[in-house]
A and B are shown apart, each in its own frame.
Chain A
């Protein structure tokens, strides 16, 4: 089955800096890669996703890149703000299969 590895497990940045979280996956047939943000006491919320027919997707300060050859994808957050502090999860799957989640990255943005 699919195995998703996520790094780092914790990340601390100063407000205004960029943050990058990386994930690797094992199943070359995976074709959907979402990112979720989980704030304290809340459920994971989908923030951005990418499908295997594109290499990059951007939504304001958030971007995701995908390298299918290397089987890794990354979340980039620019101009970080304190409200970006949360746990971020990557996931991967292929059509007809359930999501496989990484273990999460705890991001802390300090003022």
Chain B
């Protein structure tokens, strides 16, 4: 079975540009999570969805960040405009039935110059 798929795997952009990260969860999983990982702050939950509906976005750092899940097999995390402090690895994870057992994708390494 395919795991969680994320694209792109690496993204380098300049400050002020729009960045869109993509995620395809494991088929049949009802929950989808977006995380950010940095050395300083570790793994931070940004937002999660249940059945395509955003449930908790309290971890989204600023209005520059937005996330959507138009259907059960696709989600996006958008940063507009991007800033150098947004540089991090962004992970998408999905879960079959709740908030506990999560399966992570390979991540997108974002570098904002």
Residues of A within 8 A of B (CB): 32, 34, 36, 41-46, 49, 89, 93, 95-99, 101-104
Contacts and interface: CB of A to CB of B under 8 A. Distances in A.
Contacts of B48: 98
User: Does more than half of chain A's interface fall in helix, strand or loop, or is it mixed?
Assistant: loop
B88 to A, nearest CB: 13
Contacts, number: 45
B6 to A, nearest CB: 8
Contacts of B107: 42-43
Contacts of B12: none
Closest 6 CB pairs of A and B: A43-B104, A101-B43, A32-B100, A103-B42, A44-B104, A43-B106
Interface residues of B, number: 19
B65 interface: no
B31 to A, nearest CB: 10
A99 B106 CA distance: 19
Interface of B: 4, 33, 42-43, 45, 48, 56, 91, 93, 98-107
B104 A98 contact: no
A96 B95 CA distance: 13
Contacts of B103: 46
Given A44-B91, A96-B99, 4 more contacts: A42-B106, A44-B43, A46-B102, A93-B100
